[in-house]
Amino acid sequence: MKLVTIIGARPQFIKAATVSRVVADRAEIREMIVHTGQHYDANMSDVFFEELAIPKPDYNLGVGGGMHGSMTGRQLEAIERVLLDEKPDWVLVYGDTNSTLAGALAAVKLHIPVAHVEAGLRSFNRRMPEEINRVLTDHAADLLFAPTDTAVGNLKTEGLPIERIELSGDVMYDAALFYRHRARQPGWFAKLGLKIGDFVLATIHRAENTDNPARLAGIIDGLANSEEPVVLPLHPRTRARLYDFGIKTPGNIHIVPPVGYLEMVWLEVACKVIASDSGGLQKEAYFHNRRCIILRDETEWVELVDAGYNLIAGADSARIVSALSKPLSDVDGAPLYGTGVAADLIIERLIS
């Protein structure tokens, strides 16, 4: 069986690597990895692939930048050429990026079966490009690997046939188990003089926050009133927005450079609590027995909020302060996302 995997951003490489490691042990499967180039990432060097035990892509299409429609269209055209050459039995797509949708559309128009990993997630905010990508990909795909019972319910509610839906668990839980013991402390951490287990790890990257001066100021004000010091790995783009909007960061917020995945895992384990607008960090907090204060007005991972592990604070400074000050007990480890064998289940289903 030939499998073509379409990915376009660094987090998708980490997800796809969990499946690729299973494929490597199956002689009956040959996988070709296609990187659309949606997100240029200078950190994706040879060291990145070696340290994270990720196979390098067989194709790098170099299609990134521009408006959503233009990017998706150019990706679709480039992916179609690859699929015509490779003639795979399955196309595997992950998540909710433009690359996800372009890969699914290119395949179905060539009558190649599509499997979608992380199917069924819904924020119910159709202003998010990711939400549109998720919905369209799910309705185009032949096989839907849903990470949670909630995701399965969403797919059923939308009328998708039950025979297409598979409760697989979450490949990111597979990844968390694999990388937990490979995590490494950032070189700058010791210089901050902070205690392990006594700081807030914060990230801000979504355009709804970084491009809105009122929301960005509200988040910074909320973090500024945290009882614990805050570590904020900051992308240059977000740093520029703070400068453009004239938003000052107080001394309790330690702004540090962006970190690699293994360093981020170490910070997640070492912190007391996480405050983030990242969907991935909401889950990883749970995987590493930490709570997450969600700096958005909604979340795709509703089960974590419903179970009381994570709290939605949005960009309201008072709600952020209140959430950060709540006593946070340990997560009890209830298996909301499977048992760490999602990749094995996905490959077994594709083969069968």
Most confidently modeled of 101-115, 276-290, 304-318?
101-115
The contacts of residue 119 (CB under 8 Å, 6+ apart) are 134, 137, 138, 141, 144, 145, 146, 151, 155, 165
The contacts of residue 248 (CB under 8 Å, 6+ apart) are none
166-192 pLDDT per residue, tens: 999 999 999 999 999 999 999 999 999
Six token digits for residue 72: 């998706």
* CB 206 within 8 Å of CB 238: no
202: helix, strand or coil: strand
Residue 301 CB neighbours (<10 A): 26
Catalytic residue among 35, 68, 139, 205: 205
d(CA 114, CA 140): 8
Is this prediction's pTM over 0.75? Answer: yes
Phi and psi at 188, nearest 5°, equal: -85, -10
249-267 pLDDT per residue, tens: 999 999 999 998 899 999 9
Sign of CA dihedral 168, 172, 173, 175: positive
Six token digits for residue 293: 């204060």
Q: Is 322 exposed, middle or buried (0-12, 13-18, 19+ CB in 10 A)?
A: middle
Task: Kindly indicate the confidence band of residue 295, based on its pLDDT and cuts at 50, 70 and 90.
Answer: very high
Share of the chain above pLDDT 70, in %: 95
Cα–Cα–Cα angle for 35, 276, 115, rounded to 5 degrees: 35
Residue 205 falls in the annotated catalytic set? yes
Query: Letter for the amino acid at 9?
Result: A
Delineate the domains of the chain, giving CATH numbers in brackets.
2-170+338-351 (3.40.50.2000), 182-325 (3.40.50.2000)
Per-residue pLDDT at 249: 94
Per-residue pLDDT at 42: 53
